[in-house]
Chains A and B, each alone.
Chain A
Amino acid sequence: MNMDPFSLIVALLVYVAVMVFFAGMIYKIIIWVKTPKLQVHLGMFPKPRNGFVRFFKLLKDSFIFPQTIEVDRWMWVFAVLFHLSLLVVLIGHFRLVREFTFVSDVIGQEKLNLLGAVGGGTMGIILIIALIYYLFRRFASPYKDISVPEDFILLFLLAAIIGLGDHMRFLGDIHTEEFRAYFLNILHFKPAFPETLAASQERWVLSWHVLSVDLFVIYFPFSKLVHVIGTFIANLVRSE
């Protein structure tokens, strides 16, 4: 066992986080499903002609929400950038489970690493810029006046996650293979650092990064972040 107590707790907390996340989301969905529906249709006009059009309208309203551009252009730009980068970064993290051999087989390992560095790096920068925008906006009036502590807490957690992630991407001396080893150890219920990581100061950055993610994921089902699912059902009501 080469983990300091802090890093070990952080790693163990991953299991708690995953359980709380799924239990919490399932609980939320059960509540949503079980609550009786208001029989009045709250949709607004013009309504889609048929189910097919309605489905595409739902996708458009949820992923592009074009009407927002007219009233708050910058918020729209940053919201779209933020969510897209988040998605790309999330997909990128799957390299920690298994190397994307379907990519490296085609372009070679070195090119994949370069792609990861440039692509991941770009996303990391976009995320931090979008987050700074979110933060500044949140602290400005009138947004500040309608905000509640959860809004700030989530932003600070995201700032920690993204900031530390960017540190590992741009400044650290540790690369994908070592992070993958760490992550696989957790997945195999044997949390431990690979040797290079244990010898590096970067392990602190990693542990703080994972701790922030743990807390973020634990809080997720009880926060406004349930809009990850809620967006679709609420936008469906729009055309009901």
Chain B
Amino acid sequence: MLDTEKQQALVKVLKEKINKQLLYYLDVCARCAICRDACHQYKATGDIKYIPAYRAELIRRLYKKYFSVIGRIIPKLYEGRKIDDDVLLDELYQVTYACTGCRRCMYYCPFSIDTSHILSAAKSLLIAAGKGNQILKELADAAIMKGENIDMFKDVFVSILKESEPELRKKTKDRKAVIPVDKKDADVLYVALSGIHSILPAAVIFNKAGINWTLSMFEASNYGYFLGDSAKAKQIADRIVEEAKRLKVKEVIITECGHAYRVMNFFYEAWAKEKLPFKITALVEAIYKFVKEGKIKLKEKVVKEIVTYHDPCQVGRNGGFFEEPRYVVSQIAENFRDLNPNRTKAWCCGGGGGVVAIPELEEFRLKTGEIKANQVKETGAKIIVSPCENCRLQLDSLNTKYELGLQIKSLMEFTADNLIV
């Protein structure tokens, strides 16, 4: 049981989360549950708590109880209820942090209800109740800490990069190739992930494209966003924005990381209430442009095996890049085969929204990833390209579990491996 004071505090949090869009979603849902089979998690488990309409219903019941005219008098009508016990919060926790935010349910909903947006209110409640996901919180705090103490990290970071430069020189056949950090007159700030796998291939591409770039000291991924804490999410994004402002770059290229691009391009300006003085580009978009403009040359049709492409939800449906990565992949691959369904209708891999980082959900994500695994099997592909770190980690797990015999590649890696240098 939660005491009255705590309950009131939580009601206040919910009230602050209510905006126009959320109200529409809470008011119009007819519980037709057309969304049921749109969700890979319900489809794979058959557990009703994963039906998008049910997840949203948990928040709707609170909304009806506290904020609707009739619901305050006759809550029973809507099964309206108080936030008065841990059972509710625990159920909310399960359905909320399991959601990958792929928004496939929104695509199929006749009212276009964005369940993941409703669940962002749930995350705020859980955080206020001290029940936010612990792992995601620790990762978010670590990222913020790094932002505050960047001088501590810088030297180690630069020395790791120096170790990789010989390989860069070999791959680019450019004896002067470097991975610049903190470069003042750069045009482009590239924001990678922690791990050289997201830096080296991009460095090869940028070097060949001949752009004046510098590498960000921060990683693009935003655990504050996964956690559902917009204050933390903004703080994490701030690090990059401040760096870009300090270096006076014209453009920030976000690596192949679904949510990171979405946070920077769609969320940040709304959070910060300011217009960013530089352009945000996704790396997939940048690679596509380099190819189209002839800045980099690909070895055409050099890969003979069947290659497929997985649309990361945050890059495709929620980010807007469907054709750009496909164009690049099909230039290199002789046999490109799409998954079915794809693009806007693409199934989530099962690992998004931070799910891949939550150990307690490992078994669950492997099970719910079966749909994706079967899709890949159907194509007979030996290589799968996907421009999202979460997706690739999940695909890697699925590869082992369902014995897919796949090579999993990022678009930058696939491109860098098949460049004419």
Contact = CB atoms under 8 A, between A and B. Distances in A.
Interface of A: 24, 27-28, 31-32, 35-42, 44-47, 61, 65, 67-68, 70-72, 75-76, 79, 141-143, 145-151, 153, 222, 224, 226-227, 230-231, 233-235, 237-238
Contact of B33 (A32, A146, A148, A233): A146
Contact of B27 (A38, A42, A226): A226
B78 A37 contact: no
30 contacts: A28-B27, A35-B19, A38-B21, A39-B269, A39-B270, A39-B273, A42-B21, A44-B107, A45-B318, A61-B112, A65-B110, A70-B345, A141-B48, A142-B33, A142-B51, A143-B31, A146-B31, A146-B54, A148-B31, A148-B57, A148-B77, A149-B76, A150-B78, A227-B28, A230-B111, A234-B21, A234-B25, A234-B111, A234-B112, A238-B106
A68 B110 contact: yes
Given A44-B317, A222-B69, A148 B78 contact: yes
Interface string B206-234: 00000000000000000000000000000
Interface hub of A47, A65, A146, A150 (most chain B Cβ within 10 A): A146
Contact of B319 (A45, A76, A141): A45
A231 B30 CA distance: 11
Interface stretch (B34-42, B180-188, B235-243, B404-412): B34-42
A36 B106 CA distance: 22
B270 A38 contact: yes
Interface in B179-201: none
A152 to B, nearest CB: 10
B351 interface: no
B276 to A, nearest CB: 14
A71 B61 CA distance: 26
Closest 9 CB pairs of A and B: A230-B28, A39-B270, A238-B112, A45-B320, A65-B110, A38-B19, A227-B28, A37-B20, A222-B70
Interface in B308-353: 316-320, 322, 344-345
A65 B110 CA distance: 5
Interface in B293-318: 316-318
Contact of A233 (B24, B54, B77, B266): B24
Contacts of A27: 69
A92 B69 CA distance: 33
Contacts of A149: 76-79
A237 B33 contact: no
Interface in B1-57: 18-25, 27-34, 36-38, 48, 51, 53-54, 57
Contacts of A38: 19-22, 117, 270
Given A234-B24, A237-B21, A45 B316 contact: yes
A31 B23 CA distance: 9
Interface of B: 18-25, 27-34, 36-38, 48, 51, 53-54, 57, 61, 68-70, 76-79, 103, 106-108, 110-114, 117, 266-267, 269-270, 273, 316-320, 322, 344-345
A45 B344 contact: yes
B68 A222 contact: yes
Contacts of A235: 111-112
Contact of A42 (B37, B110, B114): B114
A40 B266 contact: yes
Contacts of B117: 38, 42
B108 A36 contact: no
B325 to A, nearest CB: 13
Contacts of B33: 142-143, 146
Nearest to A222: B70
Contacts of B78: 148-150
Contacts of B22: 38
Contacts of A72: 34, 37
Given A40-B270, A234-B24, A147 B31 contact: yes
Given A40-B267, A234-B113, 6 more contacts: A39-B269, A45-B344, A67-B107, A70-B108, A70-B345, A142-B36
